[in-house]
Structure 1
C-alpha cells in the first residue's frame, strides 16, 4: 500500500506512450471547431455600425433626459398624440388646472406619458387628495380625482386655513364660501377637532351658539360662544359638562345672564365669572346698599 503522502513523478512512459495520443485528440477537436466557425455568417459592417450607433443614441437620450421627446417623436406620426382628456370627480379643482398639471409632465403622446408621474403631479395640487391616471390607446387619457372635503377653519397664530377632517391644511381661508364651517383655534386643534365636533352633534342647538373651539394645552377645549361667554370644559368627560351647561341654561337661562365665563373643570362645583360691566354694577349696588343700611342705622330711634 502506498503512503498517503506518496507523490507520483511523471516518467518517460508518459512522453513516450500517452503524449502522441493526447496531441492527436486535441488536433481533431481544433479542426472541428474551425470547420464549425467557417460555416457561421459574420455580421456585415453596416449591421455592426447600426447596433453601435443605435446603442450610443439610446444611452445619450436616456442620460440627457430626452426619452419623452424621442418617444413623442415616434408616437405622434403613429396617431398616439394625446387628443382627449376626461376628468371626473373634480369640484374645487378646475379642468383647466388639471390639464395644465398634465402638460407639466412634458408628455405629448401616450407612449411617453408616465401615469405614476402624472398622478404624483396631480396629488401635489391643493384640493386633490387622491388621483388615478389611465391611458386608453390610441389617444385618450382618463383622470379620476378624489378631493379633500373642507371640514373646519383652523386659526394658527394670525393665519386661517381650511382643513379637512384629519386636520390637513387645504387652502388659506378667505371670507365667503366657507364661513359656515366651525372655527378651531390653537396648536394641535386641527388634528383633534373631529372628536369634539362629532360629539357636539348631540347638542345641535347649543352647537349653533358656539363661535369657536379653542384648544388649550393640547389637552382640553374652551368653547367661545357667540354672545361672548366662554365655557371651560374639563379634560375628562367634556360632553357631560356640556350637558350640564345645557341643563342649567334651560332651567335658569344661565347663558343669557351678564357673565363672561362658566368654568366646568371642577367636578364638585360650577364657577361663574361676571363680566367687567357686571362687576362694576354689582360693586355699585353693594356700595349703595351699604350706604342705605348705614343711613337707616343713623335714623333709627334710640
Structure 2
C-alpha cells in the first residue's frame, strides 16, 4: 500500500488525534522552555554556609554562574565538583529552590597535624592525610609529625610509603 493510500485509509478521528497529540507536545515543550528560561525563574540569591578558613571570594570564583542566570541551567554536580577541588573542602551540597535561591553548604577539612614541607616551613594536614596548606612559617599549635617525606602541594595526600 502506498503512503498516499495509507493516509487516505486513516479515519479522520485518528488523524485529528495524531495532530492534536503533536500540537500538545509542541506546546508543552515550548511552554517548558519559555517558563524555564524566563526572568521569573532566574537565580536571584546565592547563599554560602560553612565557611571558616575559606573566603566567599574563593567560592565565588568556582561557581560558574551568577545572579540573573536561568535557574534551570544550573548544573549542580558541576558546581559541586568545582568547589570540592579546593584543598580545604571536605564536602559540598548545592541545592536550588524555585524562589530563585541557590544554597551551598560547605564542610571544611579540619587541620589535624603539621608536616614539614620545606626547611622551617610547615603544611597543615587533615586527618585523612590531605595537605590543606603549605609554606607556613608560624604554624598553629597542632601535633607535628616527623620522620616522613615533605608534604606535597595543597590538595594532594601524604604518600602511603612515607
- Fold-level similarity (TM above 0.5): yes
Corresponding residue to 2:127 among 160, 165, 169: 165
CA 1:175 to 1:156, structure 2 compared with 1: closer, same or farther past 3 Å? closer
Q: Which residue of 2 aligns with 1:155?
A: 116
Q: Tell me the matched-pair count.
A: 133
Question: For structure 1, which runs of at least 5 residues remain unmatched after alignment?
Answer: 1-29, 52-70, 191-216, 219-302
CA 1:111 to 1:104, structure 2 compared with 1: closer, same or farther past 3 Å? closer
Q: Which residue of 2 aligns with 1:102?
A: 63
Structure with bigger helix share is: 1
SS at match of 1:151: strand
Q: Which residue of 2 aligns with 1:255?
A: none
Q: 2:118 touches 2:150 (CA, 8 Å); kept in 1?
A: no
After superposition, the C-alpha distances for 1:242-296 in whole angstroms (9 at most, x for unaligned) are xxxxxxxxxxxxxxxxxxxxxxxxxxxxxxxxxxxxxxxxxxxxxxxxxxxxxxx
The separation in 2 between residues aligned to 1:83 and 1:175, in whole angstroms, is 42
Structure with bigger strand share is: 2
Give RMSD over aligned pairs.
3.6
- Structure 2 counterparts to residues 169-208 of structure 1, below 5 A: 169-176=131-138, 178-187=139-148
SS at match of 1:129: strand
Q: 2:39 touches 2:70 (CA, 8 Å); kept in 1?
A: no
How far the C-alpha of 1:181 sits from its partner, in A, is 1.7
How far the C-alpha of 1:156 sits from its partner, in A, is 4.1
- Structure possessing the higher radius of gyration over alpha carbons: 1
Q: Which residue of 2 aligns with 1:37?
A: 7
Q: Structure 2-normalised TM-score?
A: 0.65
Q: Structure 1-normalised TM-score?
A: 0.37
- Structure 2 counterparts to residues 83-122 of structure 1, below 5 A: 83-103=44-64, 108-122=69-83
Q: Which residue of 1 aligns with 2:157?
A: none
Corresponding residue to 2:93 among 105, 119, 132: 132
